[in-house]
Structure 1
Amino acid sequence: MPSYAEQREALVTHLATLAPAEVLAPFAQEQHARETQGLPPGLPAPGTPIPETPLLDAHGNPTTLAATRSGRAAVLVFYRGAWCPYCNLALRTYQEHLLPQLRTRDVALIAISPQRPDGSLSTRETNELAFPVLSDPGNELARALGIVTEATAESKAAQVKLGIDVAAANADHTAQVPMPTVLVLDRGGVIRWLEVQPNYANRTEPAAVLAAVVALESAEAVQSV
């Protein structure tokens, strides 16, 4: 079972064959800078209830996290959008290597991005995802968690050269996106674990998420005794 990191390296090699090095260079520079800067300040601590903000399902219908979770514990995956190859790779990896384990534990897997609902549906169809993909218009939920960011001017110029228009894909027509983030919520909607990736090429490995879910189960079992 290849890890996400191993698949990412293969993806980087593939991307290098699709565009000139001078076009891709700003992305590598931005990734390095974000990794050096580290985590954003003010991230919610474990034990903090997840904010409930308006969301849209893949068909554009209003929904909430509470409605989508239906009283279950949940793993939330914030991703930048269908235009991001690292996001698509991560979602496929979670589908293949994490979702089956979560299903046996009755834990929901929910992906969230700021893109328009029709874009969310496209992501779901393209990757044949078997879990909910929600739209966070205006990054309202991501902003409440303190994980909103925006590409550098150099990266935006490179995106244009590659035909990527983040603002057009987003529901609020801005270029702001969430840092790739995974949260584990208990059945009450309280954050029990989270991991943020400042470098958007990196993603939380399925094994790390599963370990956090198992730890939550153990804690809940002790509390019920």
Structure 2
Amino acid sequence: MALQDRLDAFKADFKAGKAPYHAPAEIHPIMERATAELIASGQAARAIKAGDRAPQFTLKDQNGDDVSSADLLAQGPLVVTFYRGAWCPYCNLELQAINDALPQIRSYGANVVAISPQMAVNSRKSVRDNKLGFPVLSDVKGEVGAAFGLRFALPDYLVDLYKRLKNDLPSFNDDPSWTLPMPGRYVIGQDGIVLYSEVNPDYTHRPDPSDMFAVLEKAAAKV
């Protein structure tokens, strides 16, 4: 099943309140309002895109080890996916889909990293629960997400909703700012130039991993 089909199926169950999802119906218009406002802001169009030079980064993985984009790019192309956190079921479905595609991605000589603002303990949860074969990096204070143009502040009414739902981002992220990255996926060439980008302010929509294969194949041919 394609990733978006899986996301759509989850969304339908979530909105219908099917077990184990018992969220009150009144939350959905609030979430949809926040998504519509983020789309209308135009921020996604201002984020790093194909043809731009990717910001370099060094972040700690789930085990506390430094991971450098420069070191990974010395080995081959790099797939970078930004996600919101282990608490986000849409993000977990995306990570699982990328993990399923990992053998083919690596056949092109590429590495994969996932980046979120959450602390390492939550990154370990992401790796463990999703059985990931690639590292999950902690973007402390969302600085790398901001460099890619993905970081945004949640509106006050959404913060209030998250608090009611016990979705305590300051505790998850060790950051009081109530900010998140828009989901974004990139393929970065060895010269540091972005070859593929997909940024969507609607967190319920994610590109299929197979969308990257042609770009990765072309990048591999240049190595």
Cα offset, 1:68, TM superposition:
4.3
**Paired letter, 2:104:** Q
Q: Does 1:151 align with 2:154?
A: yes
CA contact (8 A) 1:71 1:188 kept: no
- Cα distance in 2 for partners of 1:108, 1:175 equals 30
Structure 2, gaps ≥5 residues long: none
Report the TM-score when normalising by structure 1: 0.87
Contact 2:109 2:220 in 1 (8 A): no
Cα distance per residue 1:161-206 (max 9 Å; x no partner): 2211112111434221111001101123322221111111111221
- State how 1:10-21 maps to structure 2 within 5 Å: 10-16=9-15, 17=17, 18-21=22-25
- Structure 1 segments (4+ residues) deviating >4 Å: none
- Cα distance in 1, alignment partners of residues 42 and 80 from structure 2: 21
Partner of 2:107: 104
Written as runs of structure 1 = structure 2, the 5 A alignment for 1:110-121 is 110-121=113-124
Tell me how many residue pairs correspond in the alignment: 218
Of 76, 83, 90, 1:79 maps to 83
Instruction: Specify the code of the residue in structure 2 equivalent to 1:111.
Output: A
Report deviation, 1:154: 2.2
The match for 1:62 among 53, 66, 91 is: 66
**If the length of structure 2 is used for normalisation, what is the TM-score?**
0.88
Moved more, 37-46 or 74-83: 37-46
- 3-state secondary structure, aligned to 1:183: strand
Bigger shift: 8-17 or 126-135?
8-17
Structure 1 residues 69 and 127, CA gap change in structure 2 (3 angstroms): farther
1:91 to 73, 91, 95: 95
**Which structure 1 residue ranges, 5 or more long, are not aligned?**
none
Distance 1:15 1:129, change over 3 A: same
Computed over aligned residues only, the root mean square deviation of the Cα atoms, in angstroms, reads 2.0
Q: 2:39 aligns with which of 35, 42, 47?
A: 35
Instruction: Provide, for residues 70-125 of structure 1, a one-character-per-residue CA deviation record: whole Å limited to 9, x for no partner.
Output: 522111000011111111111111111x2121121121111011111111111111
